[in-house]
Structure 1
Amino acid sequence: MSTPFVAILMGSDSDLPQVQTTIDTLKKLGIKVEARVTSAHRTPVRTHEYVKDAEARGCQVFICAAGLAAHLAGAVAANTVRPVIGIPVETGPLRGEDALLSTVMMPGGVPVAAVAIGSAGAKNAAYLAAQMMALADASLGERLLQDRADNARAVEEKDAALQARLAGG
């Protein structure tokens, strides 16, 4: 049996700086990742073929990052019933607002989950994919709980440092 994985598709290699957070977060959680540059408009056949191949090989969730018209997530969702998460890339004259609207405005029956524009959304796409996969993977669920606890502890440590600085100053 193949190892479950998350497939990340980018409309352009210029999306990689924002998507790197997604890749890093998934890897930190111990999730196998594949990443491809493919376009809903410029390489539609290649996109379709990759989605079908990835699904057959064990892809559990697709994450699609695109800017401007941002049709990539919708094109992927049209070809699979696996969850699709869209990351609206912060680019162009509207700074990603057009990509957000293109990502969320899907017809009924072909859903795409959308996260925030930019790097926070890219990180949350990884966490959302992990949470979906954790429904069938208890050890991944435990890693997510540990990550959440580590994040809370980091905030508490920062607050303690602030309080110490304020008390001394």
Structure 2
Amino acid sequence: MKKIAIFCGSISDKLIMQSAVEILNQFNIGYKSYIISAHRLPDILSKTIKKSMEEGIELIIAGAGLSAHLPGFIASKTILPVIGVPIYNKKNGLLGGIDALFSIVQMPKNVPVATVGINNSYNAGLLAIHILSIKYKDIRKLLIKFRINEKEKLESEIDKNNYEE
């Protein structure tokens, strides 16, 4: 069953959102992805959000650049948690993604969007996993194992990189 919907505002955002897909795959979490502009195709986006909810999606990750209205638009149409990924690519922005970050993080009262760092879809995927782990014990067990493994990797790096002269 697909638990997460991933939305991109444009085809150029897909590459950045790939890191979210990779971490979701690592946890065997089903997702469905869409590329729909909030500005150019608002009616299709609204229908797709509604259809996703009817299909049992529990959480949405949305990545967008520039004015980055996609995550907020989606949040205005659903009560599902929405995680926004501000996207920057050299082709379409002059502000290094700060425009997208501010657009997503500064949502008005009563329309919350969780926001991760610029181009950090990995953390969006991991935050989604954390949220789902509240409900699903199998995901919680995998997440605990993941955190232990990550800690052990870091400890191992400390041992390799620390030395005495």
**TM-score normalized with structure 1 length:** 0.92
Residue among 28, 49, 60 paired with 1:51: 49
Distance 2:88 2:157 in 1: 29
The runs of 5 or more residues in structure 1 that have no matched partner are: none
| RMSD of aligned alpha carbons | 1.2
Secondary structure of 1:59's counterpart equals: coil
Q: 2:37 & 2:2 partners in 1: Cα distance?
A: 24
Unpaired runs of 5+ residues, structure 2, are none
- Equivalent in 15, 22, 25 of residue 27 of structure 1: 25
Equivalent residue for 1:131?
130
- Structure 1 runs of 4+ aligned residues shifted over 3 Å read none
SS at match of 2:58: strand
1:52-131 correspondence runs (5 A): 52-91=50-89, 92-118=93-119, 121-131=120-130
2-side partners of 1:14 and 1:160: how far apart?
A: 40
Deviation at 1:4, TM superposition (A): 4.5
Structure 2 CA distance, aligned partners of 1:157 and 1:90?
A: 33
Alpha-carbon offset, residue 156 of structure 1: 1.3
How many equivalent residue pairs? 162
Secondary structure at 1:107's aligned position in 2? coil
Q: CA contact under 8 A between 2:2 and 2:32: conserved in structure 1? A: no
